[in-house]
Amino acid sequence: MSKTGVVYVCQQCGWKSLKWAGRCGGCGEWDSTVEEIIAPSGSGSSSVAFRRELPQPITSVQLTECPCIETGMREFDRILGGGLIHGSAVLIGGTPGIGKSTLLLQVCQYISQKGYTTLYVTGEESVAQTKLRAERLSILSDNLLVVSETNLDFILENIHNTRPTLVVIDSIQMIYKPQLDSAPGTVAQVRQCANDLISIAKSTGSAIFLVGHVTKQGIIAGPKVLEHMADTVLYFEGEKFQCYRILRVVKNRFGSTDEIGIFEMRKNGLQPVDNPSEIFISQGRRISAGSTIISCMEGTRALLVEIQALVARANFGMPERKVSGVDYNRVSMILAILEKRIELKLGGQDVFVNIVGGVQVDEPAADLGIAMTIASSLKEKAIPPDTVFVGEVGLGGEVRSVSQMEIRLKEAHRLGFKRAVIPKDNAKGISKDVGIELVEVCYLSEAIEIMG
């Protein structure tokens, strides 16, 4: 029988060392190794019973009908892939106070109102504190069970006894397994507790939500394997002083990974935003230079967002380039194209580019709108407010086609836009009933001529 020993484990990547090291040998992080006790082999028993399965041909696998359970929030159902999947494990992270616990408590309420049993395990607050938050959100249901517990053995016992349809663990960093001598939140505890909870979800059919703390870099604390074990990984985004929250999917085994859900924080909880394009376009905006509307795709949804640019003469040597909401390197490339192909003098100008509403646009289809916004600000010529721009710009100044053009145009028409500037190659497969005038361009210079 092996003896009890000590190992030093990096809390960022899980690298192990028999001696303390100031710098991790795996990820290079400083002061991240924590002492953990290695229990003798054979000591302690696993809390989860595993059932042995034998290999079988994939053609003989029997599929069971497991329909999705709608959560009552359309935005949340869409990013999950249609609703709550039986036996699925969802990991949700975000900064403190952004609304993770509020959203999951609301989901528990909707599920329990349909007659399903839900179990909310809180490790950060008491049952009374959870009840106060539930009363503020008007959440009252006998099928919603609440327990304040951090011991994994007791949590697994509660799941076995109640057999809930949905289990919420808030948060996984607070849960500990008594058989491990390390402190809660360490790599060993987070990895083992998550593994046992996901295993019981698969065996009992209960869907489980794991709330994860985030580091100062914005990633979920703990080992990266935590995200690999979960079926779906969600990140809450949003500014502290804004009421809108964006729930972004970074991994989903049951649906698209490009979807986002947009919610508004109100006094009665998080409410889905039915028309998200309106919040990214300034209401009653004036016809001014340096403002353009683009149509971008987030998963299966088209969003219209407003791009603003300010070009001003640099007063202190090196010109400044400040970007918010789009890729900095992409904007630098577009500036070079405007100087080389369009002969705009931007070398001595400060350039500031911003996406209204705090949304992040990463797709190349925004290139044409960015270029038009910068040119509009430099020339002090306004772009018609009823015009939307879509297209990727190549290094030769050509405007390249983008995907899902018809969906983008229908969204623009629905919001009252009369004209769309698009790549010529995209105009071939568009039906005649989009209801919007199409301006086809092959090169960036043709698009800039629209300003006159």
118 annotated ligand-binding residue = no
Question: What average pLDDT does the segment 166-187 reach?
Answer: 89
Assign residue 294 a region (left: φ > 0; alpha: ψ between -120 and 50; beta: otherwise): beta
- Most confidently modeled of 82-96, 258-272, 363-377? 363-377
Q: What is the pLDDT of residue 47?
A: 47
- Most confidently modeled of 17-26, 127-136, 238-247? 127-136
Q: Tell whether the model's pLDDT for residue 46 goes beyond 60.
A: no
Contacts of residue 267, Cβ cutoff 8 Å, sequence gap at least 6:
136
> In a 10 Å sphere around its CB, with 0-12 CB exposed, 13-18 middle and 19+ buried, how is residue 95 labelled?
middle
Contact 361, 355 (CB under 8 A): yes
99 annotated ligand-binding residue = yes
**Cα 323 versus chain centre, distance:** 21
Q: What is the pLDDT of residue 321?
A: 94
Contact 176, 193 (CB under 8 A): yes
Q: Tell whether the model's pLDDT for residue 44 goes beyond 50.
A: no
Please give the CATH architecture assigned to the domain spanning 280-451: 2-Layer Sandwich (3.30)
Q: Tell whether the model's pLDDT for residue 285 goes beyond 80.
A: no
- Most confidently modeled of 22-26, 32-36, 161-165? 161-165
Q: What is the pLDDT of residue 5?
A: 72
- Between 252-266, 276-290, 345-359, the lowest mean confidence (pLDDT) is in 276-290
391 annotated ligand-binding residue = no
165 annotated ligand-binding residue = no
Q: What does the alpha-carbon distance between residue 376 and residue 342 come to, in Å, rounded to a whole number?
A: 13
71 annotated ligand-binding residue = no
Q: What is the pLDDT of residue 31?
A: 82
Q: What is the pLDDT of residue 409?
A: 93
Question: What average pLDDT does the segment 190-199 reach?
Answer: 92
Q: What does the alpha-carbon distance between residue 10 and residue 223 come to, in Å, rounded to a whole number?
A: 9
Fold classification of 68-274 (topology level):
Rossmann fold (3.40.50)
Question: What average pLDDT does the segment 214-237 reach?
Answer: 84
290 annotated ligand-binding residue = no
CB-facing half-sphere around the CA of 210: CA atoms within 13 A: 30
Confidence of residue 41 (pLDDT cuts 50, 70, 90): low
Q: Tell whether the model's pLDDT for residue 129 goes beyond 70.
A: yes
| Domain residue extents for the chain | 5-38, 68-274, 280-451
User: What percent of the chain shows pLDDT beyond 90?
Assistant: 53
CB-facing half-sphere around the CA of 205: CA atoms within 13 A: 11
Under DSSP, the state recorded for 172 is: G
Q: What does the alpha-carbon distance between residue 9 and residue 21 come to, in Å, rounded to a whole number?
A: 10
Q: Which residues pair with 351 in a beta bridge?
A: 311, 321
Indicate the pTM of the whole model.
0.77
Q: What is the pLDDT of residue 260?
A: 85
Q: Tell whether the model's pLDDT for residue 45 goes beyond 50.
A: no
Q: Tell whether the model's pLDDT for residue 159 goes beyond 80.
A: yes
Q: What is the pLDDT of residue 332?
A: 95
pLDDT tens-place string over residues 58-89:
888 887 666 789 988 888 998 898 899 999 99
Question: What average pLDDT does the segment 211-218 reach?
Answer: 82
pLDDT tens-place string over residues 182-191:
788 888 889 8
Strand ranges inside 276-366, DSSP E: 291-298, 301-313, 321-324, 349-355
pLDDT tens-place string over residues 232-246:
999 988 766 678 888
Q: Tell whether the model's pLDDT for residue 43 goes beyond 70.
A: no
Q: Which residues pair with 176 in a beta bridge?
A: 151
Q: What is the pLDDT of residue 220?
A: 81
279 annotated ligand-binding residue = no
100 annotated ligand-binding residue = yes
Question: What average pLDDT does the segment 22-39 reach?
Answer: 81
Q: Tell whether the model's pLDDT for residue 341 goes beyond 70.
A: yes
Confidence of residue 1 (pLDDT cuts 50, 70, 90): very low
